[in-house]
Amino acid sequence: MKYTETEADKILDKLITSTRSPRGQYSAAESYKLLEKRITRKSKRILPLRIWHTVASVAAIALICIVGWCTYEYLIPTKMQTISTLANRMEVTLPDGSQIMLNRYSSLTYPKRFKGDSREVTLNGEGFFNITKNPNKPFIVTAEMMKVQVLGTQFNIEAYVNNPDVKTTLIEGSVMVSIDSTDEQMILHPSESAIYNKKNKTLELAVEDETVATMAWQSNSFIFDKQTLQEIVRKLGNSFGVVIEIDNHDLANYRLTAKFNNDESLEEILTLLQTGRGFTFKKINNQKIIISKD
């Protein structure tokens, strides 16, 4: 049956009029309250899950950082650096806080950071070591073929390339000295020295009457106590960066006692040493001096 437009509008109006909105608990207002409660309960159930996801993400990032740091710490080599002196002394502070005073014409090689189970450095020349204590990481100094291991102490090492000996003198604490080419080891106590002869390949223990002479270079002094002229000129040569040769065997073994300030020139020191001792010296060039018997 077809209706005219006017008839259809009248029928639609009657249908709308006869349709009633829900009342009571099914009204729009009450239904909205119920819906709001359900949404709140659902949000409360979802919130802990979101927090857990956040915590898990943070933990994963932290784990990645730790693994990355461990990889960097143990797998990637540590950069090494070398500090060298010329005519001046220099104090070096290591990453662990240990302090080393380097004598003239000396060098120290060490890592930018210590890792692993030990702290290892290499010395060429002479240095005084004041080591920060760390029982879990022994400190090891390699000086040519000699190794000196400590936990925390003060000691002096003289290991110039042109010296016939490598010498370690203990000031405080204790150290263990070993030689690479042998199984020989030696424990030093204060005022004792371990002396390794490069030519004879022997390691000897010596007791220092006074360590003041050994440590004199730190206070800008030279103290020679009944030392042979050969020992004296070797120390002077190391300190001034020149080669000093003695052309007479008896003269080389002549013993002297003297004290000089380090601000005195090499020529001044040699001039004072030769007075009344029956020898003279001659400069060949800026790098070599010859000492001869009168």
> What's the CA gap between 203 and 188, in Å, rounded?
12
At residue 211, what is the residue type?
A: T
- Residues in contact with 274: Cβ distance below 8 Å, sequence separation at least 6, in sequence order: 280, 281
| pLDDT for the residue 11 | 57
Q: Which CATH number fits domain 80-207: 1.20.1250.20, 2.60.120.1440, 1.10.3720.10, 3.40.50.300?
A: 2.60.120.1440
Burial class (CB in 10 A: 0-12, 13-18, 19+), 39: exposed
| pLDDT for the residue 276 | 75
| pLDDT for the residue 213 | 83
For 253-270, give the DSSP string: T-EEEEEEETTS-HHHHH
| pLDDT for the residue 141 | 97
- 80-207 and 220-293: same fold? no
Residues in the chain with pLDDT values less than 70: 1-60, 62-77, 210, 262
Closest CA to 81 of 89, 93, 70, 69: 93
Strand pairing partners for 128? 101, 156
Indicate the domain borders of the chain: 24-74, 80-207, 220-293
> What's the CA gap between 74 and 117, in Å, rounded?
11
Instruction: Specify the CATH class of 220-293 in words.
Output: alpha beta
Burial class (CB in 10 A: 0-12, 13-18, 19+), 97: exposed
| pLDDT for the residue 264 | 86
Cβ count within 10 A of residue 180: 9
> What's the CA gap between 242 and 234, in Å, rounded?
9
